[in-house]
Chain A
Amino acid sequence: MPQRRVVITAASAISPIGHGRKPIVESLVNGKSGVAALREDHLMSRFIHSRVYGTVGYPIAYDFSRQYRKTMGPVSYYACQVAREVLEQAGLPPDFVTGGRLGIAFGSIHGSPTVQRDIYRIFFEAKDKATFQGIGAVDYLKSMVHTTAVNISKMFGITGRIISSGTACTTASQSIGFGYEAVKYGLQDAMICGGADEYDTITVAVFDNLLACSTAFNDRPGETPRPFDRARDGLVVAEGAGAVMLEEYEFARKRGATILAEVIGFACNSNGGDLILPNLDGITKTLRLGLENAQINASDVDLVSAHATATKMGDIIEAQATGRVFGTQPRVVALKSYMGHTMAACGAVETVLTIYMMQEGFIAPTLHLEEIDERCAMIRHVQKLEEIPVKTAAIQNFAFGGVNTCLMIRKLT
């Protein structure tokens, strides 16, 4: 099957450490955390032990008319905003955008929980027919699992294929990977890829009940999560969105697009077993498949963006797998240390941040990594900001359900 080169021509993120390149780079350079106190939802938040959350705590100037707003839950606001930004950055011709050769790969972990919660409130409290009619005609469109992708399609008139992965923490990394494959094999010429998740107490409650959330820093939110650090005590749930524009290389070059990086490989596999526990063999295999798919050697990789959620076992298993495959040469950064775990968005947000670091010529340190856990010490951690060029990066993400991904990107010289 003919294979084509795939490049990234635009990138944007709404994250707890900022919206777009400048504020995000400033946060990375200055070691600024985006973790804040857990938001009060007047429902179950008071029962949650973990009192920290990766918060998008700044206003976003949305400019969506009602025609679009009427089918959008909060998650689609995030998604459509970052999609708009990558479309503007990429500057694709309008007839191409609507012509069927541009597709969308975008997802969230479960649509819009805010809207779902309102539906179920009516479901459980309905006493009469009038209350039942409180379930709006558009509530499904706002809350369904592919709501982000189709709202992007509607807003920009995009008529290509829709891929809407919903694999928890690998949602966005799969979006980029499957988008990459769609362009690589000629099914589309360009893809908007990413993921988004809105604030959701239920997600925090789920991890809290699994004893996976950070609780020891409730009075100091800005000091957690602490990937690979001895004092780490769990993940911090977060909100946000990230998107990239993928294009076929020759198409991008001929139209004079700015090329931020090339996607050179992608791997995805599953552990075929436990749905929660990290699996050393499964992850190791994914990373090896990533190298194989990119047709590069481990020694070619300069930087690893680790999934590193700051859970006890997850970080150890990832460090072991990373050490097995890449050894001690590539620097390893855990970007969730800055903002927590943006769930469905994390693969895209971390890809966007890696691109920013490639462009700016630095590697941010893993925040709060003061004392490396000796069980995670077999890899080359970054503890201070390093001003060095990054040519090739591996972006690792793993999800509940035993899904693993590895995306390989390279800066074009």
Chain B
Amino acid sequence: MTRQEIEKEIRAVLLREFEVENPEPDVNLREAYGFDSIDAIELLLEIERFLGTELTQAEKKKAMDIRTLNQIIDYVEMLAHHRKNEAEKA
């Protein structure tokens, strides 16, 4: 999955599930859209769905400091990379 594909998916989820429309990549989502910890938990469920993988508690906790769209994309990119490596090792 490319970064562009991840961004497209995240933007679609933000709009569909959180009514966040066209956020600037580095804007603080909490300050600009009231995107809080409850939303973060729900976003993680969406990420699990579109990656088709379950996140560990440790992975989820890492997401709690995320504030911007770019950080979300970085996080998903990191997860996708880890899952790919795990699959290759297996």
- A residues within 8 Å of B by Cβ? 65-67, 70-71, 129, 133, 136-138, 141
- The verdict on A70 contacting B45 (CB below 8 Å), with A65-B19, A129-B54 known, is no
B32-85: which residues lie under 8 A (CB-CB) from chain A? 33-34, 38-39, 41-42, 45, 48, 54
Chain B residues positioned under 8 Å from A67 (CB to CB): 33-34
Judge whether B54 and A137 touch: CB under 8 Å: no
Contacts of A136 in B (CB 8 A): 42
Q: Are A66 and B41 in contact (CB under 8 A)?
A: no
Q: In the complex, what distance in Å separates the CA atom of A70 from the CA atom of B41?
A: 12
Asked if B18 contacts A66 (CB within 8 A), the reply is yes
Taking CB atoms, residues of chain A closer than 8 Å to B39 are 70
B60 to chain A, nearest CB (A): 11
What separation, in Å, do the CA atoms of A71 and B34 have in the docked complex?
13
Closest-by-CB residue of A relative to B40 is A137
Number of residue pairs across A and B with beta carbons under 8 Å?
A: 18
Closest 7 CB pairs of A and B: A137-B41, A67-B34, A66-B19, A137-B38, A138-B38, A137-B42, A133-B45
Tell me, in angstroms, the Cα distance from A67 to B29 when the chains sit together.
Answer: 12
- List 13 additional A-B contacts (Cβ < 8 Å) besides A70-B38, A136-B42: A66-B18, A67-B33, A67-B34, A70-B39, A71-B38, A129-B54, A133-B45, A133-B48, A137-B38, A137-B41, A137-B42, A138-B42, A141-B38
B residues in contact with A70, CB < 8 Å: 38-39
B-side interface residues toward A, CB under 8 Å? Answer: 18-19, 33-34, 38-39, 41-42, 45, 48, 54
Quote the shortest CB–CB distance from A236 to chain B (angstroms).
37
Give the shortest distance, in Å, between A171 (CB) and chain B (any CB): 27
- For residue A133, which residues in chain B have a CB less than 8 angstroms away from its CB? 45, 48
Question: How distant is B14 from chain A, measured CB to nearest CB, in Å?
Answer: 11
Q: Which has the most chain B C-beta neighbours within 10 Å: A65, A66, A129, A138?
A: A66
Shortest CB-to-CB span from B69 to chain A, Å, is 17
CB proximity of A127 to chain B, nearest CB, Å: 15
List of B residues within 8 angstroms of A65 by Cβ: 19
Sample (18) of A-B pairs whose CB atoms are under 8 Å apart: A65-B19, A66-B18, A66-B19, A67-B33, A67-B34, A70-B38, A70-B39, A71-B38, A129-B54, A133-B45, A133-B48, A136-B42, A137-B38, A137-B41, A137-B42, A138-B38, A138-B42, A141-B38
- Measured between alpha carbons, how far is A71 from B37 in the docked complex, in Å? 12
User: Roughly how many angstroms separate A238 CA and B61 CA in the complex, as a whole number?
Assistant: 44
A212→B38 CA distance, assembly (Å): 41
A340 to B50, CA, bound (A): 48
Q: Which residue of B lies closest to A67 (CB)?
A: B34
B41 CB, nearest partner CB in chain A, Å = 4
The docked-state distance in angstroms from the alpha carbon of A67 to that of B17 is 11
Minimum C-beta distance from A155 to chain B (A): 12
Q: How far, in Å, is B49 (CB) from chain A's closest CB?
A: 9
Nearest-neighbor residue (CB-CB) of A133 within chain B = B45
| Separation of A141 and B36 alpha carbons in the complex (Å) | 14
**B76 CB, min distance to chain A CBs, angstroms:** 18
Give the docked Cα–Cα distance between A129 and B54 (Å).
9
Of chain B, the residue at the smallest CB distance from A65 is B19
Tell me the bound Cα distance from A141 to B42 in angstroms. Answer: 14
Q: Which residues of B contact A71 (CB under 8 A)?
A: 38
Of all chain A residues, the one with the shortest Cβ separation from B39 is A70
Within the assembled complex, what's the spacing in Å between the Cα atoms of A65 and B35? 12
